[in-house]
Structure formats: C-alpha cells, structure tokens
Amino acid sequence: MFELLCKCFIRNYNDTDDEKVRERYGLVFSIFSIVCNIVLVIFKMTVSFISNSFAIRADALNNLSDVGSNLATLFGFKLSIKHPDADHPYGHGRMEYVSGMIVSFLILYMAFEAIKEAITKIINPEQINYSNITLIILIVSVMIKYLMAIMNRKAGDKIASSALKAAAQDSLNDMLMTGATIISMLVYRIYNVNIDSIVGLIASLFVLKSGIEIFTDVLDTILGKAPDKELIKAIEKDILAHKEILGIHDLLLHDYGPSHQFMSLHAEVNASGDVIELHDLIDNIEMEILNKYKILTTIHMDPIDTKDELVNSLKEKTKQIVRSVNKDYSIHDFRIVRGNTHTNLVFDVLIPAQDQIDHEVLKKTISDKVAELDSSYRCVIQIDHSFV
C-alpha cells in the first residue's frame, strides 16, 4: 500500500533529495493519517459513551490530538520548503523540526490529561459496559493504527523526516493504549474485575515516556547535535582521495533542516603548488560534495611547506608531545616563525567536544614539554574543540 500511495500521488517519488518530492511525502502521509484518525475518533468516542469506559474515551481523545499532530506535520512540510528570504537566508527547513516538536507537546499534553483522569477514576470507579461490538471496533482500530505506524515509518525513513517518524511512534503509542483497553475488557468479562482505569493509567505512562523521547530527539536536532559519524567519514574519504589534499581539519556541518545543510572545512595543500590549479581543484571538490551529499560546502586552503625539514621534524615531535598529554588530541596548521632570539611554533590543538580541560593549563603543559626540546622554542597555541 505504501508503494501504491507513492506511485499514485508523488511524482518522481524515488527522488527524495528534491524538496518538492519531500513535501509531497509529508502532505500525502499527513492527510492519510488525518483521515484515519478522524474515523477512529468517531468510532471510539461513540463506543466510549456506550460502554462508559474511561480507557476508550482517553484513547479517543488521544486520537483527536493525533489529528492536531498530523496537521502540524502537514503545515511543517509546507513551510519548510518556503524559499529563503532576507530574514531567513538559510531557508525554512527547520520548520519540519518545529512540527515534530509540536507533535511531542501534544503527546505530552494528552498523556498528562489521561494520567490525571485515570487517577480520578481509580479513586472514584464507575460501572463499565463492554459489548462484542466494542471489542471488534477496538481490534479494528489497532489494525488501522498499525497500518499508520508502518506507513509513516516507511515515509519517515525514506525522506529522513523526524516529523513523520514522530507520527509513526505516536501511532504505536495508540496501539499500546487500545491494546491495553482490550486487555482490561477481557479481564472484566472473564473475571468480572474492573481494571479499566489502572490499565489506562499504565498505558498513559508509556505514552508519556514516548512523548519525552520524541521531544528530546527533536530538541537535540534543533540545538545542533553532532553529525552522523559515517557521513563525516565518507566525506573525508572522498576529499582525501584527491592526492593534492594532504589533510583536512576544522570541519563544521550546520543543519538547517533536511536538504538544507551547510559545511565548511580547511584543506591542507602543498605550498609550492600552482594556486590557480589548486583553487580549481577546491571548486571541483565543493561541487562533488554538493552533487553527492546535497551539502553546500566552503573549503579554505591551508598551504603546507612540505620541503622544510626543520618544520616537518618539529611538527612530528610536537604531535607526539600533544598525544602524550592525551591520545585523543591532535594538531594542525603547524608553522614556525624564526627570530634572532627565539623561534615561535604556531599551531592549533584539537580536543574532543566534551573535554573540560582548562585551556591555559593545557597550553602551559604543551609549551613546557616543547621547551625541553630547545629553550628557544616558544609555542603559540590555539585550542579548538571538535564539532564532528
């Protein structure tokens, strides 16, 4: 059914890098979810009044909140492809993340409301009246929610959409709520024990947990979480495949929404190389990354003197000294400035993002160790934190 919907309503549905195609995915599967949820709300609310079941009523209200979630997702996709403007030069791609955040808020709100009402019903229980038609409708609703979860999960994976993945998780939450209601119904019919509100409370707690997980996941993306390690490794491999590139560092990747990523990095090149040819090479690499990864990239050239034996020797010794302080540290942009009384060793030290070492202490430690090589050596150090 997923393939059928894609073929019928999404032109060039395999070209998921195209913003228009991504938008169509969001629209098609949001509308699909809205229709399914409206049908479920009508059926469940009707059954809840007939059976006087809090669990079913809470389930119906949860489906009603899902309609709002689906609308938020739909508008998020529409706004995310809006053309960049003077106030938002990087586009509006993060609106998709905002819609995912709205979905999480709605899930959390409904979870809190359901928990509050469940506690009230536990303190003041009411008589319930289940029927066979109630059981049948709930089983059908579980099947519908399972279908929605599969469809949204496939669409979310297809276009790497956090909003659609959140919608898929929300559908799984609803399956949990409805499944719990079915269990309470069977227990009541077999043992004549009313656990309706208790089951509703337990299911609501699981929904609360998933809402928190969706919220934190989307929040991480909005705050700027570290890029995928495999993606960075692939990009570095492609760049270093060009023999003229001696090394890369200071790589920064900024995420402004799916298909709205910007990257900058420094590429080390031979200082004696032809500047025009190297500049042309850098332009070609930037275009290769754009075509392959859809990432707009800016590369800064760092000339490296590969023929100066003293520079090469001191660079290697300094690298070993820095690694002796911490094996996860590295250096780049190494050069020396000779003077009459002393020689400056100028370089950057790259440390992991989570490293909390005092920068001044680190600089002094490295400088003291370098001075042991020769008292005329003085270090000029810049500390960088890794962003990938």
pLDDT digits (tens, 9 = 90+) for 203-244: 788 778 878 887 888 888 888 888 888 999 999 999 999 999
pLDDT band with cut points at 50, 70 and 90 for residue 55: low
Cα angle 74, 76, 79; round to 5: 110
CATH class of 2-223: mainly alpha
Residue predicted with more confidence, 12 or 299 = 299
How far apart CA 151 and CA 33 sit, in angstroms, is 9
* Predicted pLDDT of residue 343: 93
Q: What is the pTM of this model?
A: 0.66
Instruction: Check pLDDT > 80 for residue 131.
Output: no
Calculate what percentage of the chain has a pLDDT beyond 90.
35
298 phi and psi angles, rounded to 5 deg? -120, 125
Mean pLDDT of the chain: 86
How far apart CA 231 and CA 218 sit, in angstroms, is 20
Q: Which sequence spans correspond to the domains of the chain? A: 2-223, 229-385
133 phi and psi angles, rounded to 5 deg? -65, -35
Instruction: Check pLDDT > 70 for residue 273.
Output: yes
**Weakest-pLDDT range from 102-111, 235-244, 353-362:** 102-111
Are 206 and 173 in contact by the 8 Å Cβ rule? The answer is yes
Do 2-223 and 229-385 have matching folds? no
Instruction: Check pLDDT > 70 for residue 130.
Output: no
Q: What beta strand segments (E) does the chain contain?
A: 247-255, 261-270, 295-304, 330-338, 343-351, 377-385
Instruction: Check pLDDT > 80 for residue 41.
Output: yes
**Weakest-pLDDT range from 72-86, 318-332, 371-385:** 72-86
CATH number of 229-385: 3.30.70.1350
* Predicted pLDDT of residue 282: 96
The token pair that represents 30 in the structure block: 């949001």
pLDDT band with cut points at 50, 70 and 90 for residue 331: very high
